[in-house]
Amino acid sequence: MKSLPLAKVYQLIEPGPVVLLTTAHKGRANVMTMSWHTMLEFEPPLIACVVSSANHSFAALRATGECVIAIPARKLAAKVVKIGNTSGRDGDKFRAVRLEPVAAEQVAPPLIAECFANLECKVTDTRMVQKYNLFVLEVVKAWIDPAQKRPKIIHHHGYGRFAVDGPMIKFKSRMR
């Protein structure tokens, strides 16, 4: 995996991909699916995301303040759904869905080898956790897999339905 400049992270999150979120707690890594997230700031990149207190990952994120956001392309969709349908309470999800955890550089939770992008994150603000389960994350290191050219991301529409990225269109724009 290749390092990605932090100033480009927003281009990965802004389009609304379903992502995988990894945590590590008490010697065990876990992974969940997540679609409720938004950029908050370009640089350093801040992301706000909702991790429900009903999720097994919630306690790990709360306790450790670290996670990795891994972005899967279309070919991983079936695994993404399987991860969403099971809980870390029931065993090792990485093994169950056959995804390869890889050591991160600045945080304890693992990267996911098969994902085309991995963002190492630290929780920087927990004031909205109690009311909204909303965490503010700062991306401290970003990785991209140069072998995955033009990955198609998937967008959740509820109940296992996803829109896959279709054609790209381009306009002259002053918008960043």
What's the CA gap between 118 and 100, in Å, rounded? 13
DSSP state of 151: P
Which of 36, 106 has the CB closer to a copy of itself?
36
Q: Contact with a copy of itself (CB under 8 A): which of 3, 41, 63, 91?
A: 41
Instruction: Pick out residues in 99-158 that bind a copy of itself (CB under 8 A).
Output: 125, 127-128, 131-132, 134, 136, 152-158
59-79 CB burial, b ≥16 within 10 A, e <16: bbbbebbbbbbbbbbeebbeb
Site for a copy of itself in 60-79 (CB under 8 A): 74, 77-78
Omega before residue 15 within 30° of 0, cis: no
Any contact of residue 160 with a copy of itself (CB under 8 A)? yes
Q: Measuring CA to CA, which residue among 128, 171, 149, 113 is closest to residue 36?
A: 128
Applying CB under 8 A, does 94 fall inside the site for a copy of itself? Answer: no
Contacting residues toward a copy of itself, per CB under 8 A: 10-11, 14-17, 33, 35-41, 46, 48-50, 74, 77-78, 81, 84-85, 125, 127-128, 131-132, 134, 136, 152-176
